[in-house]
Amino acid sequence: MANQALMANAIRALAMDAVQQANSGHPGAPMGMADMAAALWGEHLKHNPANPHWADRDRFVLSNGHASMLIYALLHLTGYDLPIEELKNFRQLHSRTAGHPEVGITAGVETTTGPLGQGVTNAVGFALAEKLLAAEFNRDGHAIVDHHTYVFLGDGCLMEGISHEAVALAGAWKLGKLIALYDDNGISIDGKVAPWFIDDTPKRFEACGWNVIGPVDGHDAAAVSAAVAQAKAGEGSKPTLIVCKTQIGKGSPNRGGTAKAHGEPLGADEIGLTRSALGWEHAPFELPEAVYQDWDAKAKGASAEAAWNEKFAAYAQAFPDLAAAFERRMKGELPAAFDQVVVDAVLAAHTKAETVASRKASQLALETLTVQLPELLGGSADLTGSNLTKTAATPDLRFAADGAVVRTEDGRIGRHINYGVREFGMAAIMNGVALHGGFIPYGGTFLTFSDYSRNAIRMAALMKQRVIHVFTHDSIGLGEDGPTHQSIEHAASLRLIPNLDVWRPGDTTETVVAWACALRNKTQPTALLLSRQNLNYAPKDELADISRGAYVLAEPSRVGLKKKAKAVIIATGSEVQLALKAQELLASRKIAVRVVSMPSTTTFDRQDVKYKKSVLPKGLPRIAVEMGSTGGWWKYGVDAVVGIDTYGESAPAGVLFKHFGFTPENVAATVEAVLAD
Catalogue the active-site residues: 423
Report the 10 Å Cβ neighbour count for 314.
14
Mind giving me the DSSP string for 153-214?
EEHHHHHSHHHHHHHHHHHHTT-TTEEEEEEE--EETTEESTTT----HHHHHHHTT-EEEE
Q: Which residues of 182-221 are buried (b: 16+ CB within 10 A; e: fewer)?
A: bbbbbbbeeeebeeeeeeebbebbeebbbbbbbbbebbbb
Annotated binding residue 114 = yes
- The partner residues of 593 in beta bridges, in order of sequence, read 567
Query: Strand 178-184 and strand 149-154: pairing?
Result: parallel
CA–CA separation, 36 vs 43, rounded Å? 11
CA–CA separation, 537 vs 554, rounded Å? 13
- Would you call 339 helix, strand, or coil by DSSP? helix
Dump strand ranges (E) for 572-644.
Answer: 593-597, 622-625, 640-642
Annotated binding residue 140 = no
CA–CA separation, 285 vs 262, rounded Å? 21
Neighbour-count burial of 466, counting CB atoms closer than 10 A to its CB (0-12 exposed, 13-18 middle, 19+ buried): buried
Stated as kind and residue range, the H or E segment containing 656 is helix 653-659
Annotated binding residue 11 = no
Annotated binding residue 532 = yes
Annotated binding residue 115 = yes
Query: Strand 356-357 and strand 526-529: pairing?
Result: unpaired
Report the 10 Å Cβ neighbour count for 309.
12
CA 579 to chain centre: 35
Annotated binding residue 656 = no
Instruction: Give the chain's end-to-end CA distance (angstroms, integer).
Output: 85
Mind giving me the DSSP string for 178-192?
EEEEEEE--EETTEE
CA–CA separation, 327 vs 137, rounded Å? 11
- Would you call 428 helix, strand, or coil by DSSP? helix
Annotated binding residue 53 = no
Q: Are 42 and 23 in contact (CB under 8 A)?
A: no
CA–CA separation, 103 vs 365, rounded Å? 32
Annotated binding residue 47 = no
- The partner residues of 241 in beta bridges, in order of sequence, read 180, 212
Annotated binding residue 93 = no
Counting DSSP H helices and E strands in the chain, the numbers are 25, 20
The number of CA neighbours under 13 Å toward the Cβ of 572 is: 31
Q: Are 464 and 411 in contact (CB under 8 A)?
A: no
Q: Are 508 and 355 in contact (CB under 8 A)?
A: no
- Residues sharing a CB contact under 8 Å with residue 291, sequence separation 6 or more, in sequence order: 6, 7, 10, 77
Annotated binding residue 449 = yes
Mind giving me the DSSP string for 491-532?
HHHHHTSTT-EEE---SHHHHHHHHHHHHH-TT--EEEE--S
Annotated binding residue 364 = no
Dump strand ranges (E) for 26-91.
Answer: 59-62
CA–CA separation, 463 vs 479, rounded Å? 36
CA–CA separation, 504 vs 515, rounded Å? 11
Annotated binding residue 66 = yes
Question: What one-character DSSP code corresponds to residue 395?
Answer: P
Annotated binding residue 219 = no
Annotated binding residue 415 = no
Binding residues: 26, 66, 114-116, 155-156, 185, 187, 262, 359, 386, 449, 473, 481, 485, 532
Binding residues for thiamine diphosphate: 66, 114-116, 156, 185, 262, 449
Binding residues for substrate: 26, 262, 359, 386, 473, 481, 485, 532
Binding residues for Mg(2+): 155, 185, 187
